[in-house]
Structure 1
Amino acid sequence: MSLLERDNLNYLTHVEQFFLTLKGSGLSLSASDYDLITQWENRRVPVEVLCRAIETAYRTATAQSRSASPRVSLTGMREQVEDELGKAAR
């Protein structure tokens, strides 16, 4: 049995590829990032809404960073993404 359920694969893959492309680096996410994506899927967060929230949170995080290439993860941005999801729900 695969660690990734087949039903989750499209959602996971979509969010993974979106985030890695946004970052411009990396080949895969951490186990905690995959777990977080699965939680969002289980909450039935639409993938388009999630990707917009991730993009906004990422732009904010990188704008606030002093590093030219900050190390950003979905888990590290969880609070900001949740804030953006809350705004989208209003």
Structure 2
Amino acid sequence: MWPSQSTSPAWGWAEAATLRLLFSREPRFGGQSQHLVPGRYDTSDLKIPNDSISSVDVPKGLKVTLFEHSGFRGASAVIKADTGDLGASSFDNTASSVEKI
């Protein structure tokens, strides 16, 4: 249930389950999407196809790191707030792995 989870967040797991993150294939949270609880998610853990994340909905108090390659490698971008269109950044349709804390 907690892919590659290496550390516990400051809150309990039951509370963490309510702090969901939404990744979408289309700008402005459209198209195929996936909700994730805090953890580390490699390419095989994501239901959205590789290199297709276009928007990220980040709950207040959390942050997301998008990684260019699987295995949490390559260039990365930290997102601390809702981003309805990654098109203005270099990470539109680029992320292959994700860390949410």
TM-score, length of structure 2 as denominator length? 0.27
Going by fraction, where is helix more abundant, 1 or 2? Answer: 1
TM-score, length of structure 1 as denominator length? 0.29
Going by fraction, where is strand more abundant, 1 or 2? Answer: 2
